[in-house]
Structure 1
Amino acid sequence: MAIWNQGTQDKKTTGPKRFGFLLLPNFSLIAFSSAIEPLRMANWVGGGEHYETVLVSHDGEAVASSLGVELLVDCSLNEIPALDAVFVCGASPIARTGNEAVIGWLRRQSRSSMALGGVGTGSYLLACAGLLNNYRATIHWWDIASLKEEFPNTLVTNNLFEIDGARYTCSGGTAAMDMMLFLIAKEHGMELAASISEQFVYERMRTSEEQQRIPLKARIGASQPKLIEAVTLMEMNIEEPLSTDDLAHHVGVSRRHLERLFKKHLQTVPSKYYLDLRLEHARQLLRQSDKTILQIGLACGFSSASYFSTAYRNHYGVTPREERKRESDSPDSSSLGRSSLMS
C-alpha cells in the first residue's frame, strides 16, 4: 500500500514530495529539527529534489519554540499550498487551550486524502479534531495516559512512532527522525535512509515497533528511591546480572523488603523483572545487530545458548533463531533492508 496519498487541492503528480510543518507556539525545537533535517539531507545525499518543505503557522506570523527561538514561516493556514502531508508540531508541554483555529482547520481536512501527522504533542491536536478515531497513534510518554483517557476511540500505543494509513504520529524528540527515515526508506529505499542516518552520526534507525522507555520514576513516582535504585542497577548490569541478595545489599535494604517493593509497585519479583529486562535487551540485539545468537545470549547474562533459547521461548513464544528469521522475512524488514542485518 502506498504511503503517500494524493491531496484534495491541485496536487502535483510529479516532482518532489511537499511536506508542511504546522508550528504551534512553544513547539519542541529538537522534535521539529529531527523531523525536517532528514528531508533536507535526503535532497543533498540523494542528489536531487526529493522533498520540499513548507513552514506554516495559523496566522502566517513567526512562531517561538519552547526555547524562545523564533522561526519565520512561509504561509498561514489560509494560504497553505497543495501538500502531500502536513505535520503538526505541538507545544511542549501540551497547550490544551487556544488551539481552536488549528483544530477547526484540521477538522476540515477530515475528508482529505492528504496525510496528517503529529510530532510529539501534535498528536493531541489531531485527536482533538477527531482525526485519530480508530487509528493507532502515539505521543510522548508523559501524555500517554491522558490521551488514552480523553480519547478512548484512539488506539494509543507506547511505540516510538506509528504509521497507520494516512496518519503518522511520533513521540517527539529524536523519534521524529526515526519516523522520517522510515518514510524516506519506504519512498526511496533503505540505502538513502541509511546514508542520511550516517550523515547525522545517528547510531541506528529504530523501528516503529520499538517502545518508548517510560522512566520508572514517572510510572511509580519519586517516593520509592530504593526501588528506582535497584532497577537502575539492573539496567547497568545486563551482561553480568546481580543476585537479588546483591541488589538488596547495594541499595541498603533486606532481600525481603526489596521483594515487597517489587511486588507492591511492579507486581512482580526482582528476579522476574531482571529477566524481562535482559530478554528485552536480547530482542533488540536480535533485531538490530549482526551479533551471533550465542554472543547476544552472553551479552545479556545467559551462561549458555540452551538456557538463553529456553528463556527466550518461554517469554516470547519463539526461539531466538525463529525471532531473527521472522524479522528478516517480514515485509517491512525486507523493504527497509533490515534483513541484511539479521543473517
Structure 2
Amino acid sequence: MGKVNPKQVLLLGSLLVLIINLTACKPTDDDNSSAVIGSAPTQSFTVKEKFSNGLSVSTQYTPLKNMNYNAVLCQPIKEVNFCDEQLLKKTLLPNKTIVNIQNVDNGLEIRTSDKTNVFASKYGTLSVNTPLSESISYSYFDSNSMGEGSNTSAFHKEQLTTIPKEQAIKVCQNILAMLGINVQFDKAIVLDAETLQQQEQDPQKTAAKPEAAPKKKGKWSKSDECYALYFHQIYNQMEISKYCLRHDSPDSPVIKILYGKGGIVSIYIQGIYQAEANPIKTVKVCSPRTALEKVIKMYKSSFSFDDPIEISNISLCYAVDKLNDNSNSFIWKPVWATKIIEQKSKNISYAFVEAETEKLIS
C-alpha cells in the first residue's frame, strides 16, 4: 500500500465537511426556514418558496428609512373631532352658499344651496355628499360601500381628459392635511362617463345595488367624470392598518374621496384617530424574518388549499388595539403585517404578528 499524504487527507476531510454543510442548508418542502441572509429589521430580504399543499411564498421586505427599530412608539390615541365649523367651511365648502347648519347627535351637519351635505362627527367620521355622488353610487360601488360587492374591475382607464390624476391626488392630500390627517396615496379608480353609463344600465348588477338607490342619472357626460381616490393614514412613517386586532374594536379606518374637474364629489372618512400627548412606551421590534416564519408555519401546517394561497409582502405598520382587556381606551400597536392572497378568487387578507411579543394574530 502506498504512503498516505497527510495533506491529501486534510483536503478530503475539508471537502466532506463542506458537502455535508451545503446539504444541510438546502431548503426542502418540509423545512419552514429559507436560506436568507440577514433578519434584522434594518436589512432587506426576499423569500420565494413553494409547498405541496398549495402554499407559496413570494415576499419582499424593505426597511423604512431613518426608523429606529429599537424604539418604536406604542401610541395612545383618540378619535378625531371633525366638528370645526369654520375649518369645514374653508376646506370643504369654499365659494358655496350655506343654507343650514345644525347640531346633530355627536356631530354637525351643514347643507348648501347646491344640495351638498356635510356630516362631521366628534368620533373620527366625516362625509360629504352631492347629488352627483348619489348617482355615482348606483354605477360604482366598492367593498367599503357594499360589503363584499364591488364593480371596481369594470373601470379600466388610467386618466381623465378633464383633470390629471396627479393633480387630483395632490389637491386631496392637501385637503386631508388641512383636516389634520397625514396620508399616503393608495390607488385611484377612474370613473369615466362611458363605463358609468354601462354599469348603470347593466341588468346583471341590479341585485348588488344599494337598497335605497337614487334614480338613474340617464345620460352621463364628461362633466360627471371623476377619480375615486383611496388613501391610508400614516403615523411615525408607518401605515395605520385598516384591520383592527379585536372584534370589539371601533370602525376600521377608511379614507376615500371622489374628485373631479368641478372639485369634491364626495368624501367618506371613518375610523380616524390622532395621537395623544405622550406614548405609553417604546418597543424593540422583533425580526421581520421571525414574524414571517410564524405565518409560514401556520399556513404550511394546514390541509391542502383548494384555492392556492400566496404569502406576500411583509411590512411594519400600526394596528388599532385596546390598551388592555378591561379598557375602553385604544392604542396604535406596532405589528408585522403579512399580505395573504387567494390566487383564484384574488381575495386578500392579512396575518399579523405583534412586533414586540412575536405573538401571531391571524
Higher helix fraction (1 or 2) = 1
Higher RCO (CA 8 Å, separation ≥ 6 residues): 2
Higher strand fraction (1 or 2) = 2
Give the alignment's TM-score, normalised by structure 2.
0.24
Give the alignment's TM-score, normalised by structure 1.
0.25
Pair member with larger Rg: 2
